[in-house]
Structure 1
Amino acid sequence: LSKRIVEEYHKGKIFVKESVINEGTTFKIILPKS
């Protein structure tokens, strides 16, 4: 769902920056300025 919203509706990119077991996952989201 998040991937679709970021990529299709906002023309951005989303990807996993870091994932650590028992700690969590950090995502990076890049959105265009306009």
Structure 2
Amino acid sequence: MNFNDKKTRRIIAIVVMVVIVAMVATSILPILG
């Protein structure tokens, strides 16, 4: 994988964001529920 490619970096950024959102959701949902 070419990490200098903008498309690749965008995909990595999206994956990281999804993982972070999932972690936050799993930590917040039990509190709300």
TM-score, L = length of structure 1: 0.26
Asked which structure has the greater RCO (Cα within 8 Å, sep 6+), the reply is: 1
Structure having the higher helix fraction is: 2
Higher strand share: 1
